[in-house]
């Protein structure tokens, strides 16, 4: 049975993007894929100032994106 709500968390630390998701129960689960994204900087491809977040939804039903929050992490 599909979840009624899924929360997503995308973390970019040292150019390694890690994905997390949470279904209705609220427990965060780390997705097994990570991406190394240093090749997407503006000095490599030209014109990109930062990575941009995107969501793709497949299927017959729609997607409602709400409560979007972007938080910059402090550099250590």
Extract the tokens encoding 30: 């780390």
How far apart (Å, rounded) are the C-alpha atoms in residues 9 and 28?
A: 9
Q: What is the pTM of this model?
A: 0.67
Number of Cβ atoms within 10 Å of the Cβ of 13: 9
Angle, CA of 52, 72 and 44, to the nearest 5°: 45
How far apart (Å, rounded) are the C-alpha atoms in residues 70 and 10?
A: 10
Phi/psi of residue 38, nearest 5 degrees: -65, -25
Query: What is the predicted pLDDT for the residue at 2?
Result: 65
One digit per residue, pLDDT tens: the chain, 76 residues?
566 778 888 888 888 999 999 987 778 999 998 998 887 766 665 665 667 777 788 888 778 888 888 777 666 5
């Amino acid at each position: 049975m599909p979840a009624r709500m899924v929360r997503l968390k995308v973390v970019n630390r040292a150019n390694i993007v890690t994905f997390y998701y949470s279904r209705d129960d609220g427990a965060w689960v780390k997705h097994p894929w990570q991406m190394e994204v240093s090749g997407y900087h503006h000095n490599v491809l030209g014109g990109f100032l930062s990575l941009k977040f995107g969501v793709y939804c497949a299927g017959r039903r729609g997607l409602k994106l709400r409560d979007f929050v972007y938080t910059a992490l402090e550099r250590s």
